[in-house]
Structure 1
Amino acid sequence: MHPTTHAAARPDHPAIVMAGSGKTVSFGELDAAANRVAQLFRSRGLAAESGVVGLWLENRPEYLEIAWGNQRAGTTLVPISTHLTPDEVAYILEDSGATLLISSAQFAPRLEELARLAPDVAQLVFEGAPDAAEALAAMPAEPIADQSVGLAMLYSSGTTGRPKGIKPATPPDPDHMAVSPLIMLAAAAFGWPTDGSVVYLSPGPLYHAAPFRWSMTAQSLGGTVVVMEKFHPEAALAAIETYRVTDSQWVPTHFIRMLKLPEEARTRYDLSTHKRAIHAAAPCPVSVKHAMIDWWGPIILEYYAGSEGNGMTFANSQMWLDHPGSVGKPIRGIPHVCDGDGNEVPVGEEGVIFFEVEDQFEYHNDPVKTAEATHPNGWTTLGDIGKLDEDGFLYLTDRRSNMIISGGVNIYPQEIENLLITHPAVADAAVIGAPDPDMGERVVAVVQPADLAAAGEALKADLLDYLGSKLARLKLPREIEFRAELPREANGKLYKRKLKDEFRERAAEEA
């Protein structure tokens, strides 16, 4: 169960289809392209176990070709968010130890700045210079002599706002052809067939953990991955009909936007081939999920997990209908809900969610954060707050780290606050996630100006310009509100709960 085996058995079967253009890459073509990628890595001195490559690329066929080339070269691939600034990308490249970055001309202005910030990292650029396509075309399509399983290191923001790499676990089998645990999980828990009949729609960016990993899983099973260049709600429905999609994966924001389509658009497309619709990344509002099950039927499957891979829960539609609002029962790891002192709390009470698994994750170059996420018993947490019910179903109720999830993307407010407070016109600042009917949450900055008389639209514009030069657009506040004073406790700790409760009450009154 590897693309190489499918290339030998069904070389003309589509491995990748781009939803918008219809461009198709067969398994035979994917296998040859992956071999060229591995050959390129070796020609660049990227050895197994030590070579690290950054991938800053939009959704396109080459993304998965490079991923599979890395998988058989024994190197480490670092997918990078397309929303990040050159400064943020430079940090990831330095922290990961990458010596090569593959990108495209779409990032041309930022690549120029990045070259100044990270001069020791070579660049290959599709439709640019040096041209990545030309470099790959010059490579032989035969396998490298020393194939071994490669890994991916995904980055998530830390408590300081700087991205932190999740160190990939050592593979149980060094043979690149070995079946991964995720493949077995997909085939079993999610009911994916292993006969190559899966047609998997990936509407999200491939740099995210779920689209990246599940796309490769579908191809490992011999299935076709239909990649949307960019998500559009009606285009997603059209893709299901056009390509006879059997499986898909979403975040709640996708559901919300599709539900908001006119009735004519929602009923225009034949979705009869659609058998399994997986969602994760953020809690889904109960009303939204009810509406999706009513529309698509009991094909909605939910899981809760993180890039850290320390645990996983699962719920099919009926399980969720019996336990609305839950994220399912554990299928990997044993959950423990603990209070602030690390003691387990009774069933039904809220606390920090830990998972007990045999293999523990660690954050790359960050033993402090690794320790903060580890319970004295060796259990680990993603920092989420939740509870278990009497049937063992897990519910998420809060985030210990005050993380904001907007459109399925994790945003940590500390980074934004640290920048705001350095502005000369700002005395104090708090950044929170406020309820948003479309994105789930929106970023809100509550600012105490150094001079309250300066509060107004001009200062808002100045602050956004200031942040915009240093932050990815998705992190920018969608709303800035000025206050004479922020709610701080006597010890100086910012009491964000008061602000969050205030904005939730407003949202409830406006609903």
Structure 2
Amino acid sequence: MTEPPGDIVCGSLDAHAVRAGGSVALCDGRETLTWQEFLARTVAAETALSQTGASRLLRVDAGDPLTALVRLCAGARSGRIVLVADPVHWQRYGERLRTELGPVADDEAFANDDPAPRGPDDGDDGATGAAKGKPAARFRAGPLEPFYIGLTSGSTGMPKAFQRSHRSWTLSFRTCLEAFRIDGTDRVFVPGGIGHSLHLFGAMLALDSGLRLDIARRFQPKAILRRMQAAGSSVLVATPTQLQLLARGAASEGIRLPDLRRVLLSGAKWRNSERDLLARMCPGAEVHEFYGTSETSFISHRRAGDPPGSVGRPFEGVEVEIRGDDGERLAAGETGDIWVRSRLLFDGYVMGTEPMTRRDGGWVSVGDRGSLDGEGHLWLAGRKGRMIVTSGINVFAEEIEAALLQYPGIGQAAVFGLDDRLRGARIVAAIQLCDGALPDPQALRRHCLDLLEPAKVPRAFQFFSDWPLTPGGKSDLPAIAGEIEHREVAHDSVSRRTPA
């Protein structure tokens, strides 16, 4: 069994280095570190932070995952608050972050962070030798102290910076291990950059729990599949889009992953139409779909026997309520705002604001809408920020996207409401095909009419060969919306120049 997580993120590394010694802790495809080597680098990074007098707020560049994870662990253990930022996000928002958050220690804080050579008095235990050089703490690392600042994915707009405490993550680790039955024999693979909170959580879950971690520097499905084969990875932490592309890559290359037994999936709904491909790739794997956000951590997950279409029941220790616009709790089956109470919640935003995120005592809502049935299953309707008002009807983009994805050959779909004088908003769908020729728009409309009310059927379909993704592997909705608006403007311009 894995050792139970402690109260401080990465506080168990010394114990893992003693127990696992020379076995592999981390591999990024270019470099591999044993537990002894990982601890030695972490302690060296802690020493560098102490020697350079780095401020409490520390930025770690997510572009190099191995180095970033060493530095994040060093920052967490030294009582610092680590800002993990994808290079693209830092380039765009770095100045604003510095302005709003204050002094931010950077790469210079890790000057000369190479582990010192072992001397003859260090003994045979590499972990003991590394720990001897651990510096005195300048800042306090406590369960309720903040340790991490992340950026929301930006899939729906401007990213916000959110802050989490040590305990919110160590309890999340414990929740994950117990709910998904992960044990000390497991090997974890994370297929994307740790600038995305799901990938970072999967990576830190492995390292904090003493499990081998393999991580991808870039999302390249075929290369990842081969690495998973070689590593004997048994747990995959991914978004549905990544899993879909991996399953298709495995089918085209004839690759099988017999060791994979757990797939932890979050970020969007997994499509039943892809299950056959997944079963061929990893016939022994169980898919554990869970629902959560950067602000709330785990909320609910689907278990065997839960109704299709739901996101399951809440995790142990998580309470969920559905409330109306007046703040009153709604009855089973009624749709309203989803409110969550648990010990896993974030501390708050430290940059930017999100009007849809509200607090009420120990409860938080991030603007997601849904309902609870009589058996306690949670059903998602959509996000308030993606609601489209057309012809006086409130429509969730997610509902239309789910209908489109049931059409054969459609791999990705995103729905938007464009300004329309007559209807208020005109619904347009962006579509990427996974195979086959372009479908007839009239056939697509008939398909949608079979599943949706007429007012919800897209008025136009735009087809994409390349599908923009955020660094975290989600659909880049602002980029897709921008391209649709560009095409619509160009189309209108051509229509005005063309005689009737």
For the criterion TM > 0.5, the same-fold answer is yes
d(CA) in 2 for partners of 1:347, 1:323: 15
Asked whether the 8 Å contact 1:283–1:396 carries over to 2, the reply is: no
Give 2:65's aligned residue.
60
295, 300, 308: which is aligned to 2:295?
A: 308
Give 2:78's aligned residue.
73
Structure 1 unmatched runs, 5+: 103-122, 125-131, 173-178, 405-431, 449-471, 487-511
27, 30, 46: which is aligned to 2:54?
A: 46
181, 184, 191: which is aligned to 1:191?
A: 181
Shift of 1:99: 2.1
1:391 aligns with 2:375: yes
d(CA) in 1 for partners of 2:155, 2:234: 39
124, 140, 145: which is aligned to 2:136?
A: 145
Aligned length, in residue pairs: 391
d(CA) in 1 for partners of 2:282, 2:102: 45
Shift of 1:187: 2.3
d(CA) in 2 for partners of 1:386, 1:228: 34
Give 1:491's aligned residue.
none
1:339 aligns with 2:344: no
* Counterpart residue identity of residue 26, structure 1: T
104, 125, 137: which is aligned to 1:99?
A: 104
Higher relative contact order (CA 8 A, sep 6+): 2
Kindly provide the CA deviation profile for residues 101-148 of structure 1, in whole angstroms up to 9, marking residues without a partner as x: 23xxxxxxxxxxxxxxxxxxxx57xxxxxxx6x631287951112285
Kindly provide the CA deviation profile for residues 172-221 of structure 1, in whole angstroms up to 9, marking residues without a partner as x: 8xxxxxx921332232111111x3x2210010111211221221221222
Label 1:204 to 1:301 Cα distance change in 2 as closer, same or farther (>3 A).
same
Secondary structure of 1:364 counterpart: strand
d(CA) in 2 for partners of 1:28, 1:78: 26
171, 195, 204: which is aligned to 2:192?
A: 204
Asked whether the 8 Å contact 1:355–1:381 carries over to 2, the reply is: yes
Label 1:443 to 1:35 Cα distance change in 2 as closer, same or farther (>3 A).
farther
Give 1:17's aligned residue.
27
Secondary structure of 2:69 counterpart: helix
Kindly provide the CA deviation profile for residues 254-283 of structure 1, in whole angstroms up to 9, marking residues without a partner as x: 122134337352x333x2211111100223
Secondary structure of 1:206 counterpart: coil
Give 2:364's aligned residue.
380
Correspondence 1:160-199 to 2 at 5 A: 161-169=157-165, 171=167, 180-193=170-183, 195=184, 197-199=185-187
Shift of 1:92: 2.2
Shift of 1:100: 1.6
Shift of 1:386: 1.4
Asked whether the 8 Å contact 1:444–1:478 carries over to 2, the reply is: no
Asked whether the 8 Å contact 1:443–1:479 carries over to 2, the reply is: no
Give 1:351's aligned residue.
336
d(CA) in 2 for partners of 1:9, 1:483: 63
10, 27, 37: which is aligned to 1:29?
A: 37
Label 1:403 to 1:181 Cα distance change in 2 as closer, same or farther (>3 A).
farther
* Counterpart residue identity of residue 145, structure 1: A
Shift of 1:439: 7.4
Give 1:230's aligned residue.
218
* Counterpart residue identity of residue 48, structure 2: L
Give 1:4's aligned residue.
14
Shift of 1:312: 1.6
d(CA) in 1 for partners of 2:383, 2:338: 10
Correspondence 1:433-444 to 2 at 5 A: 435=401, 440-442=412-414
Kindly provide the CA deviation profile for residues 37-84 of structure 1, in whole angstroms up to 9, marking residues without a partner as x: 11122222236xxx0011223143111111111121000000112332
d(CA) in 1 for partners of 2:215, 2:250: 24
Label 1:262 to 1:185 Cα distance change in 2 as closer, same or farther (>3 A).
closer
Asked whether the 8 Å contact 2:288–2:302 carries over to 1, the reply is: yes
Correspondence 1:395-410 to 2 at 5 A: 395-402=379-386
Asked whether the 8 Å contact 2:162–2:350 carries over to 1, the reply is: no
Shift of 1:442: 4.6
Asked whether the 8 Å contact 1:46–1:75 carries over to 2, the reply is: no
Label 1:234 to 1:359 Cα distance change in 2 as closer, same or farther (>3 A).
closer
Asked whether the 8 Å contact 1:202–1:215 carries over to 2, the reply is: yes
Give 1:135's aligned residue.
112
Range with greater deviation from structure 2 (334-343 or 350-359) = 350-359
Asked whether the 8 Å contact 1:58–1:82 carries over to 2, the reply is: yes
Tell me the percent identity: 18
d(CA) in 2 for partners of 1:12, 1:262: 32
Label 1:442 to 1:359 Cα distance change in 2 as closer, same or farther (>3 A).
closer
Shift of 1:444: 6.2
d(CA) in 2 for partners of 1:18, 1:212: 14
Structure 2 unmatched runs, 5+: 4-11, 118-129, 389-396, 421-471, 493-500
Label 1:353 to 1:169 Cα distance change in 2 as closer, same or farther (>3 A).
same
Asked whether the 8 Å contact 1:374–1:381 carries over to 2, the reply is: yes
Label 1:208 to 1:87 Cα distance change in 2 as closer, same or farther (>3 A).
closer
d(CA) in 2 for partners of 1:403, 1:230: 33
d(CA) in 2 for partners of 1:168, 1:305: 14
d(CA) in 2 for partners of 1:29, 1:365: 34
Correspondence 1:89-128 to 2 at 5 A: 89-102=94-107, 123=108
Give 1:278's aligned residue.
264
d(CA) in 1 for partners of 2:387, 2:68: 29
* Counterpart residue identity of residue 170, structure 2: S
